[in-house]
Structure 1
Amino acid sequence: MDPDTPPQELVEAYIEAGKNPIKPIEVSTGPVKENIIVGDDVDLFKLPAPVVHGGDGGRYISTWHACIHQDPDSGWVNWGMYRSMIVDKNKLAGLLIPYQHGPMILYQKYEARGKAMPFAIAIGGDPVVAFIASSYLPAYVNEADVAGGIRKEPIELVKCETNDLMVPATSEIVIEGEIRPHERVEEGPFGEFTGFRTTERGGRPLHRIKAITHRNNPILTMSCMGMGCDEYAALVSVTLSGEMLQILRQNGIPVRGVCVHPWGNTLSTIVSTKVPYANVAHQISSMIWGSKAGVYVHWIIVVDENVDPWNLEDVFHAVVFQCNPQDGIHVYKRTLGMTLDPFLTP
């Protein structure tokens, strides 16, 4: 697509790709198998993992990647993006928030049964991998299929060396291992996408590394998250807007557009719609908050259809001059929050 494509067109293209998924294909090998390191030879410190921000608790190797986990019951494979910090040469500590899909598989399936969960972390390679891993697709939708739809051709996957997970064959680096039940180690803090370092150092799931495979002269992709429009903010703006727009359309809301703006990424949503009946804003909010896409959203702004949700000047004008501050603002108490919310009381 043209680099100057308007954001609403990007959102529509993302929705269309999701409607036309293409399943991945398995290959016998790929560039990520050019070097295979297993067992005692594994050494995470040989990879150029940076201290991303001043004040971070350690060197973070996973900030722009795909964490790969598989549901042991359904076979559903989830690609997510969850940060991880080097503990020693063959151990990582990761922040796994319970209502993210990969962590749900760990806590509700593997740990609950006293079993170790295999995992893989795919770093670099085709940009669509990190793009789709940072999305908020519904449960039981395979991100690899949607990635194929976006590319209009299948992703090539290759089997891990120490478990049965399939990883993108063109990755720069793949880290393989397992998370054993209830093993925790200190992780954090880390400067997050909110622009704040909000999580104190604490006990988080220990990742034991069994193998590392990588290309010759691999490139370790990373994101320096924080204030401003970083990679995560830009991509989530498209994917979250698309997921929420689909939810509202499927429920018959005459919506013009949905904007999860990069400057308020993940935590805010702007919806432009016709007003078919009174109090439709409450219904819209309930639909968003009841979805995976809306699990982190705190602010929902509903404006008339004549307001472009991607034009913040128009939105601000509508809020200031059309919203009754007494009757037009509603606070829902005791809803979900998350560990990374900067306003939480320590």
Structure 2
Amino acid sequence: MGKLSTKSASHRALMNFVDWIKPEKETDETIETQADEIRKRLSAKAVQDGLVVRSTPWSGSFAKKTGLRRHMRGKFEVEGQDVDLPFVVSPQSKEGENIHTLLDRFEQYTKESYRDTERNPTKSSIRLSFKKSKLSYDIVPMLAVVGDDKAQVLLRSDGERRLTSVQKHIDFVKKRTAASNLLDGRVKFNEGVRLVKWWRELRQSQSDVLDEVPTILIDLLCAKAFDEYSVNETYTETLSRWFGRIAHIVRERKRVDFNDFKDPSSTRSSDIWTVLDPVNPENNVVPATWTNIKLQEFAKWFEEARDGMARVIAADTADDTAAVFEELVALFGNAIKDHGEAS
């Protein structure tokens, strides 16, 4: 495979496209201001209700700089950004630690604090959606861990309690983004993750088998590909290598683990495929509901993306810009045709 120029049509298209899907600086500033207000209001309600609020750390894709300001909803592009807002609390009783009890309480806090704002309970959060700013905040109650202010217990709707650390998950991604910042060229780890997340949403909207692929799974697969292949000077070659490596990992169901925080070597798993959380290797992030059929579908996604990127490179090498965009549209949707050109 010949080396592509940073002036190639596909690299320029992907570079412009990732700038279009990532949040604007002004939006980041709005989120910081609005999130601070939400924290103050809900924390005050929680304290009045007898909860001890230990912390309200930044979390999720906003903090990792991997978030999207636009999403695919079915066949349509939808403006808006989702932000996770954990509330790490210490209830006064064991009964108060129940996820359903906590969700009920936080739903009441949001109702009292934001009466005219849309609220939707999920399995582990209360989602506040602000129509004017097109921003949604997932209010996630978590339990504090005695003696460790960087650890939390995530409560699941099935009663499971999962030890985690939102701060370490952010550090995990930022470490790789920082490493990519030291390399020549424009391509950064977190921007590669953004592109793969957009591609994931498009595939989900087209699939009858997989309708929800966890973001943390995408994060970890991209991290594994980065650890093995780093990034190239073009987005085209970077994604080609990442898709190819991940396709092999999923098809062969190779175990994925990391030693950033803990040694995972002693962790055993009898699941059909294992991708271990680097913060808590006891946690396999592959959904327990995934069957062989779903895993085969997931592998097929990456194989088709790998093959599609190979065709992009071939078209670029032949200086066939029309074919380049035809292949990119197949991978990333019509939006890349409309927003892949520099404005």
Normalized against structure 2, the TM-score is what? 0.28
Q: Which protein is richer in helix relative to its size?
A: 2
Normalized against structure 1, the TM-score is what? 0.28
Q: Which protein is richer in strand relative to its size?
A: 1
